[in-house]
Structure 1
Amino acid sequence: MQIIPIRHPFDSKQIPTDDVVMVLGFFDGVHRGHQKVIETGKKAATEKGLKLAVMTFNQHPSIVFQKVLPENMKYLNSLQQKERLMEKLGVDILYIVDFTSAFAQLAPQAFVDQYIVGLHSKVAVSGFDYTYGPKDVADVDHLPKYAQGRFEVVTVSKEELAGEKISSTRIRKLMESGQMEEVTELLGYVYEIEGTVVHGDARGRLLGFPTANIKVKSTVRLPRIGVYAVEIQIGDKWYIGMGSIGHNDTFGEGRELTVEVYILDFHQDIYGEQVTVRWNHYLRDQVKFDGAETLIAQLKQDELDTAAYFSTDTIG
């Protein structure tokens, strides 16, 4: 897959000369609804003998429109994760457009002329709710008018599960309540985060449950505070673990939020390694224990519950 970053105004020399089917969207999560849109584009590209291109943005539009600080925006995917998911879906060219103020000010016709026609699109595919400017003049219903017969417009209807639209908003709400199996069903894969293993206060080691403390970027959307059955990838191998998101209130109030994983049957030092954690199943809420003994007893139970959860599942 070819990845092409674009900053407005772009140089036409950056753009491959191949005609393409262009799929449009932000695609946070690349969930099953997004996958339906991309698969529709893939089918059209195959039928017409064209390459499949996807256009997304480097950051969420609300950073420009609503003045949200970039470091405060929480995403279901990093750009790198999004790239890998797109490649799996058979995308040939991924355009990552810098969502700047200058780009945001493009009139709908100018956007169509420069970013659909200008990228050699013969078909434009999007979800039913895609917009490229003010909704009243720049929704999918207006796109054929701006196309002026230069490309075909394909609109994909909403994908539902249990009578409700599959959306990034729905997934975020499920994560906030720890419903990770439902999150997996809507995404089409187990939710993952990436981070670096850093030194902690080594308290877990003293308790007999040494944990990998994982530093994640501020833009990573974490599931709700609590304890989870997780998988962790170290190198190219996946391991079972107990994941914890919380403040460790048993050892004092006002502590920093941490992400930690106790890896079952694992005895290696992995400080400094880049790891991926899959959040499979919510076990319990964080609890402030009255001492180390009750905490250790609960951790032993968590370990049993984690092993039991994965006893019927395949890791990796």
Structure 2
Amino acid sequence: MKVYRWPAEQPPKAKRLVAVGGFDGLHLGHQRVAQELCRRAAQLGWYSCLVTFEPLPAQVFASAPPHNRRLTTQAERLRLLKRFCLDEVCILDFNRKELRQLTAREFVAKVLHEALGAEGLCGSESHRMGSDRVAWYELVAIAGELGMKAVAVEPVQIRGERPSSTHIRELVWAGEMNKARELLGRDYTVTSVAVPGQGLGRTLGFPTANLEVAEEKLLPAEGVYSGWAVGEVLGQGPLDVPGVGAAWPAAINVGTCPTLKHEGNTSFEVHVIGWNGTTCGCELTAGVSERLRGEQCFRDAESLRTQIAVDVSRARRLALRRYGASRAFTSGPKHGG
């Protein structure tokens, strides 16, 4: 999969079938479009090219969380796209005002057809495009006038609902991780590097990896979550997470730790259950599966320690129930952050 950053980088001249969108989160609807794009492009003997934007349109037009935050950073989105058979990903510079102002007709003609060599347009029947938010049936007509093929993809329905990045952001923001998983087709994930923390978890007997999360990345509602973690430094864990592989169960805290800190920014801390080692400076991916409780302020450190022990036990049990154990697993020694 070759990545081009347009207009600084121009893909070579070739016939292309393109699909256009933000593809934030790469939910089940996006996945169907990507799969159909690859399938139909292969039938035609053309390149399959996914056209997206950086920054995301939602980051430009939305004024407040959760909608001005991302479900997937640029790196996370590209990593997910590599799971498909795409030949190319073309990332358009959405900071360019002249690009944002293009109508659908102008965008299809000038950018897709003329600049990128698109001979066909692939998209969901619910897709809209351009500054004038033109619907799919009008895009089909525009493509036809330019001699382009239009490939319609039937929208995905989950319990009568079409997945959308907008709705999934609202679910994650509210901590509704089970509902978000249904629309994403996988757990919501956070990938980042572990950085030094204050060592508060270690003092309580539950050391954590403190992930340095970009401000643009959407974090779930404050609270404690069950989940899993993977990373080269962790090695092979006992869980078998689809699309991920061998992972470790994890208890994840999103919040400010009000019991021990009087002020501070929201942190994303991962206690890798049953693993022993040092994570600082290493990249980890944490899957956030289910919210166990909201953030609480306890009367003292001992009360907090007792509750964390309960949280960790429950997180471990839920992770094993959801993802099984690919090998023998015991709680083991604690890890260092």
TM-score (norm 2): 0.85
Corresponding position of 2:214? 217
Structure 1 residue aligned with 2:330: none
Q: Give the aligned residue type for 1:88.
A: R
Q: Which amino acid aligns with 1:290?
A: R
2:196 matched to 1:199? yes
The one of 18, 26, 31 aligned to 2:27: 31
Note if 1:276 corresponds to 2:273.
Answer: no
The answer as to whether partners of 1:239 and 1:315 remain within 8 angstroms in 2 is no
How many Å apart are 1:310 and its aligned residue?
A: 2.1
Q: Structure 1 residues 225 and 63, CA, compared in 2 at 3 Å: closer, same or farther? A: closer
Q: Does the aligned pair in 2 maintain the 1:132–1:139 contact within 8 Å?
A: no
Query: Structure 1 residue runs of 4+, over 4 Å off?
Result: 62-66
The answer as to whether partners of 2:253 and 2:268 remain within 8 angstroms in 1 is yes
- Rounded Cα–Cα distance in structure 2 between residues aligned with 1:315 and 1:4: 40
1:156 aligns with 2:179: no
User: Are 2:227 and 1:230 equivalent residues in the alignment?
Assistant: yes
Q: Are 1:61 and 2:57 matched, yes or no?
A: yes
The question of whether the paired residues in 1 share the 8 Å contact of 2:19 and 2:50 is answered with yes
Q: How many residues align?
A: 308
Question: Which of 75, 82, 85 is the aligned partner of 1:87?
Answer: 82
Q: 1:71-128: per-residue Cα shift (whole Å, max 9, x none)?
A: x931011111111222212111100000111212334333222222122222201222
Deviations 1:208-242 (A, max 9, x none): 11111111100111111111112122216332221
Query: Residue 120 of structure 1 is aligned with which of 111, 117, 121?
Result: 117
Once the two structures are TM-superposed, the CA of residue 268 in structure 1 deviates from its matched residue by 1.2
Q: Percent identity?
A: 26
Over residues 228-265 of structure 1, what are the superposed CA-to-partner deviations in whole Å (9 max), with x where a residue is unaligned?
A: 11212221633222110011111243332111111222
Match of 1:132 in 2: 130
> Whole-Å Cα distance in 1 between the matches of residues 269 and 293 of structure 2?
15
SS of residue paired to 2:78: helix
Q: Is the 8 A contact 2:109 2:146 kept in 1?
A: no
More moved, 150-159 vs 286-295: 150-159
Match of 1:280, SS?
Answer: strand
Q: Tell me the equivalent position of 1:3.
A: 3
**Partners of 2:191 and 2:286 within 8 A in 1:** yes
With over 3 angstroms needed to count, the CA separation of the structure-2 counterparts of 1:131 and 1:153, relative to structure 1, is: same
Per-residue deviation, 1:181: 2.2
Shift of 1:192: 0.9
Cα pair 1:231 1:315 within 8 Å, conserved: no
In the superposition, relative to structure 1, how do residues 2 and 314 fare at CA in structure 2: closer, same or farther (>3 Å)? farther
Name the Cα RMSD after superposition: 2.2
Residues 123-174 of structure 1: per-residue CA shift (max 9 Å, x gap): 2012223212212xx3323224433141112233432211122111221222
Range 304-313 or range 151-160, more displaced: 151-160
The amino acid of 2:44's aligned partner reads K
Q: Which runs of 5+ in 1 are unaligned?
A: none
Q: Secondary structure at the match of 2:82?
A: helix
Unaligned runs of 5+ in 2: 236-246, 327-337
CA distance in 2: counterparts of 1:29 and 1:65, whole angstroms: 18
Structure 1 residues 293 and 235, CA gap change in structure 2 (3 angstroms): same
Quick one: which of 238, 244, 267 aligns to 2:253?
244
Select between 284-293 and 149-158 the one with higher mean Cα deviation: 149-158
